[in-house]
Structures are given as structure tokens and as C-alpha cells.
């Protein structure tokens, strides 16, 4: 089963995500960020009850079940998609595997703690990008790979149809 290796990629992402979140919760103080690159990057423990960029974080709690449900449905859909890929669709499989591992990492957080553990803080002066985690990074990279695959596929089709 060729798709099995892509589930291994997802499992590695999931394991690394959970390990880094465990370490962040054990080693970081929410009130005292650990500066890694002064003026640019710190490790800062944060918890997000919302979605990306804390969307719906103040919604009162109902969003937890919504995001768990969406995460599970999306994960099942991605797993099915990976199983249906042809052997030559390695980039698509890689992108989907990264998204799957990241999505499951954040679902596990919501199930265990009712929120997602974040700890990567990029900033400039007083401006901070929303704090995120390894799962978010894997999802972002996976989506970027999927977009690139589609863009190159569309470009390739255009060249094939030119006279």
C-alpha cells in the first residue's frame, strides 16, 4: 500500500506537534516569553480557544465542538483522498499528509484541553503575528504545496493546449 508512507508522514507531524506542545507547556511561562531572536522571535506559551488568528475565540465555548467536528470530518476526507491518489501524485500526497497531521494535532489539543496550545511568536517592535504551533505550520506548508501543485498543473495544461 503506497499510501501508507503518507500516513507515516502525518504521524511524524502529529508526534512532533504533540511533543513540542508538551515541552512548551512544561518549560514556558505564559507571562515570561523566552526570547530566541531579539526583536523578532520568542517562545511564548498561549492558548487559543478559537480557530486561526483566534477567530471565534470569545464565542462562549460552543466553538470547541464545532472545530473538533470540522477537524475530524476534514481529516477523514483527507485520509480518503490520500488513499485515492495515484502513485505519481507525490506532491499532492505530501501536502495532504502535512495538513492531516497538523489538523489532527489541533483536534487532539481541543479534545484534551478544550483549546489549542500555541508557542511560536514572531514579532517586530510591539506588533506580533498571532502565536501559532507546529501543527499550524504543517497545515500552512501543506496548503501551500497543494496550491503550487494546482498552479503548476494548470500552467502545464495551458502549455499542452497551445498550438
pLDDT tens for 39-51 read 999 999 999 876 6
pLDDT for res 157: 55
| Residue 9 belongs to some domain of the structure | yes
pLDDT of residue 152: 87
How does pLDDT run across 55-113, given as a tens digit for each residue? 555 555 666 678 799 999 999 999 999 999 998 899 999 999 999 999 999 999 999 99
Domain assignment of residue 39, yes or no: no
Q: Is 136 a catalytic residue?
A: yes
The catalytically annotated residue of 17, 109, 121, 136 is: 136
As given in the structure block, the three cell numbers for residue 90 are: 507525490
121 belongs to the catalytic site: no
Give 50's DSSP letter.
S
Q: Which of 17, 109, 118, 121 is catalytic?
A: 118
**What nine digits make up the cell of 25?**
507547556
Average pLDDT, the chain: 88
Asked if residue 32 is part of any domain, the answer here is no
pLDDT in the model for residue 95: 98
Residues of the chain with pLDDT > 70, as a percent, come to: 84
Q: Is the pLDDT of residue 144 over 90?
A: yes
End-to-end C-alpha distance for the chain, whole angstroms: 40
Residue 127 has pLDDT above 50, yes or no: yes
36, part of any domain: no
**Structural domain of 18:** 4-25+44-161
Alpha carbon separation from 150 to 92, 144, 145, 155 (Å, rounded):
9, 10, 9, 8
- Give the mean model confidence (pLDDT) for residues 25-38: 94
**38 domain residue, yes or no:** no
Which residues, including other chains, have CB under 8 Å from residue 122's CB and lie 6 or more apart? 40, 41, 128, 129
Overall number of domains in the chain = 1
The phi and psi torsions of 117 (rounded to 5 degrees) equal -85, 125
Q: Phi and psi for 53 in degrees, rounded to 5?
A: 60, 30
Handedness of CA 100, 102, 103, 106 (dihedral sign): positive
Q: What is the mean pLDDT of residues 1-17?
A: 91
Residue 124 forms beta bridges with which residues? 127
> CA nearest 107: which of 58, 142, 140, 64?
64
In a domain, 33, yes or no: no
Residue 35 lies in a domain: no
> 160 pLDDT exceeds 60?
no
Residue 11 has pLDDT above 80, yes or no: yes
- Assess whether pLDDT exceeds 90 at residue 17: yes
CA distance 134 to 21: 8
Note whether residue 152 is domain-resident: yes
Amino acid at each position: 500500500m503506497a499510501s501508507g508512507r503518507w500516513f507515516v508522514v502525518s504521524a511524524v507531524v502529529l508526534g512532533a506537534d504533540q511533543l513540542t506542545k508538551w515541552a512548551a507547556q512544561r518549560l514556558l511561562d505564559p507571562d515570561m516569553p523566552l526570547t530566541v531572536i531579539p526583536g523578532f522571535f520568542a517562545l511564548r506559551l498561549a492558548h487559543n480557544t478559537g480557530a486561526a488568528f483566534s477567530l471565534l475565540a470569545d464565542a462562549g465555548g460552543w466553538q470547541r465542538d464545532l472545530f473538533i467536528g470540522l477537524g475530524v470530518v476534514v481529516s477523514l476526507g483527507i485520509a480518503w483522498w490520500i488513499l485515492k491518489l495515484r502513485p505519481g501524485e507525490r506532491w499532492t500526497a505530501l501536502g495532504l499528509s502535512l495538513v492531516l497531521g497538523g489538523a489532527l494535532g489541533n483536534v487532539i489539543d481541543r479534545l484534551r484541553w478544550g483549546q489549542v496550545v500555541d508557542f511560536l511568536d514572531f514579532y517586530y517592535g510591539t506588533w506580533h503575528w498571532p502565536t501559532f504551533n507546529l501543527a499550524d505550520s504543517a497545515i500552512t506548508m501543506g496548503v501551500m504545496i497543494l496550491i503550487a501543485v494546482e498552479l503548476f498543473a494548470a500552467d502545464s495544461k495551458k502549455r499542452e493546449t497551445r498550438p
